[in-house]
Chains A and B, each alone.
Chain A
Amino acid sequence: MTAANTVSNVVPQRSAFHIWRRHPNLTVGTAMLLIAIFAAIAAPWLGTIDPQLIAPFNRLQTPDSQFWFGGDLIGRDVYSRTIYGARVSLAVGLGVAICGISLGLVVGLLSGFVSWVDSVLMRVMDGLMAIPSILLAVALISLTGASLKNVIIAISIAEVPRVARLVRSVVLSLKERPYVEAAITSGTPFVSILLRHILPNTLAPLLVQGTYIFASAVLIEAILSFIGAGTPPTTPSWGNIIAEGRSVFSIAPHIVLFPGIALSFTVLGVNLLGDGLRDAYDPRFVSRA
């Protein structure tokens, strides 16, 4: 074997191994989230049947080789419903993370830089934060009606204060950093200071917060569905499935168990990803090789 061959064979393996060694949380978390995303996208091809198909013969069917996760109260296939349920959960998680962070970033940056805006916006955020996020979401949904879009909007609004507070506190502390002051005395224009020195340094905490919001949104969506204020009952979501299985939990625990496992798996994966991102984005861990 030639030297060049050896190098080309060894380097990719080593770097993949290195990423795994350096950031195990990131790798495992990404893998878990990818599995959930794959399930959501490829749901029709994963041996599922119509998740709405009612088959009275299979009522409370225990898991077997044909019905992997068993059947629910009216005989629908729990496996198919759980797999399709990933679509709702991930859409809500991603939607809320994007909406909540964008809104919160704008509010937080404004508050951090403009002091009179700060006192107004932050009192509004305090008011929002005083209401438990689930109550707030329930109230907003009862005003607008249950649909996937409204669920995303409602949870986003409930999450905005958290992001805004985080961004504001980061901006306030960064504003006083000597390197920002040095940039001011170096004649750097305000917008460049914002883009070059403030925003990049808020990204790491925002990414971590984003994954936390993702996980929290998935949970809140499940809770909303569980209490009947979330996605319409016709759409299979993990919260819906668990809610329907609750009454027969003692005789058919599998109905609650499998969507519950899927929920925990996704939330754990996203949280691990968040921790991993936090470590990976810290420049002290960046390898120069």
Chain B
Amino acid sequence: MSDLLTVENLGKHFIVSGGLFGNFLGSARRVIRAVDGVSFSIAHGETLGLVGESGCGKSTVGRAILRLLDPTFGKVSLDGRDISHISRRALRPLRQNLQVVFQDPFASLNPRRTVGQSVAEPIKNYGLAKDAELRKAVERLFMRVGLRKDQIDRYPHEFSGGQRQRVGIARALGTKPNLIVLDEPVSALDVSVQAQVINLLVDLQQEFGLAYLFIAHDLAVVEHISARVAVMYLGKIVEIADKRRLFANPKHPYTKALLSAVPSPDPDHKKNRIILQGDMPSPSNPPSGCRFRTRCPIAKPICAEEEPELKAHGKHQFAACHFAAD
């Protein structure tokens, strides 16, 4: 099966200037390496989970793919077409295949427009339906995501968080995309509502053959929905593997630490919880060699000198650690 989305060596650096006086004082121009060489691909109808702690650059990856940010280097291709180096005008027709659902369901809807208008906007933009037909299309989308027809003319503030997220999903479905970037779509919701929304996403994927890039900081959520999982740390992917392999036999110490933090429903199940010391280093000044070494329980001198490559460890499993094979 050909890949729907390919991301090759994607990077996004932000330049923070020291301001007028900082330039004179020499404190100027720090480069924040938010994303520093990330590669992965997503097949048609597949879900890739992208996990990592806050500030690791996972949302920046999503935004660079959507071209809400221009990548500093690297290439993003959708259906074999480079979408990272074409003009925004040329990109517009291609956006139809690439939609997004954001984390904050309230901020992602214009408070002055009815939810129906918000859902209709992308359909109208691409001339997919008009007037009565448009209304029908919006009604169908509303029913499909579990909302009622009579809620179309209401405003976002009249809905609960879960309902608003359903509106956001309906909007993303309107253009019949191939790929939806889900940027922490359930992080802002209650646990009970999270499950409903995730089940809805799974159903929609089967019905429409959608591919998802599911960005999350919660492995338990990712485990339910993803076929493959990529783990990010400080702007790089440290491990990417099939879900089962990753959860059963993680290779990278960071993945192991993350997995040990996932709560287990079995009270008799005793786990060796790996607790990482300290905070993630600043992406403006990453450690030499392996970026994880400052917090790694198994770090050795070589880790400070050589940056480990992302290497295959068994079929469909890649990890960037000098000791992944041990």
Contacts and interface: CB of A to CB of B under 8 A. Distances in A.
Given A184-B68, A185-B98, A283-B157, A179 B92 contact: no
Given A186-B121, A188-B125, A181 B100 contact: yes
A197 B68 contact: no
Contacts of A201: 110-112
Contact of B171 (A177, A182, A184, A288): A182
Interface in A264-289: 283-284, 286, 288
Interface string A197-240: 10011000000000000000000000000000000000000000
Given A283-B112, A283-B155, A185 B95 contact: yes
A181 B103 CA distance: 12
A183 interface: yes
B90 interface: no
A178 interface: yes
Contacts of A288: 154, 158
Give the one of B68, B109, B110, B175 with max A CB within 10 A: B110
B122 interface: yes
What is the size category of the interface that chain B forms with chain A? 20 to 34
Contacts of A188: 121-122, 125
Interface in A16-72: none
A187 B110 contact: no
Contacts of B155: 283, 286
B125 A185 contact: no
B223 interface: no
Contacts of B171: 182, 186
Contact of B100 (A182, A189, A286): A182
B121 A183 contact: yes
A188 B95 CA distance: 10
A257 B113 CA distance: 49
A182 B68 CA distance: 9
B111, B118, B126, B157: most-surrounded residue (chain A CB, <10 A): B111
B168 interface: yes
B102 interface: yes
Contacts of A177: 107
Nearest to B113: A196
B99 interface: yes
Nearest to A179: B110
A286 B63 CA distance: 34
Contacts of B109: 179
Interface in A148-203: 177-179, 181-189, 196-197, 200-201
A183 B109 CA distance: 10
Contact of A182 (B92, B102, B112, B157): B102
Interface residues of A, number: 20
Contact of A186 (B95, B104, B107, B157): B95
A284 B93 CA distance: 35
A185 to B, nearest CB: 5
A183 B63 CA distance: 14
Contacts of A186: 95, 99, 121-122, 125, 171, 174-175
A189 B127 CA distance: 13
B112 A185 contact: no
B66 interface: yes
Contact of A181 (B102, B113, B175): B102
A197 B96 CA distance: 20
B108 interface: yes
B61 to A, nearest CB: 15
A188 B113 CA distance: 15
Contacts of A184: 68
A177 B107 CA distance: 6
A200 B112 contact: yes
Nearest to A185: B100
B125 A187 contact: yes
Nearest to A200: B112
A197 B125 CA distance: 15
A182 B99 CA distance: 8
Contacts of B110: 179, 183, 196-197, 201
A200 B110 CA distance: 10
Given A179-B118, A283-B155, A185 B66 contact: yes
The 3 closest A-B CB pairs, nearest first, are: A186-B122, A178-B108, A178-B102
Interface of A: 177-179, 181-189, 196-197, 200-201, 283-284, 286, 288
7 contacts: A178-B108, A179-B109, A181-B63, A182-B102, A182-B171, A183-B110, A286-B155
Interface of B: 63, 66, 68, 92-93, 95-96, 98-100, 102-104, 107-113, 118, 121-122, 125-126, 154-155, 157-158, 168, 171, 174-175
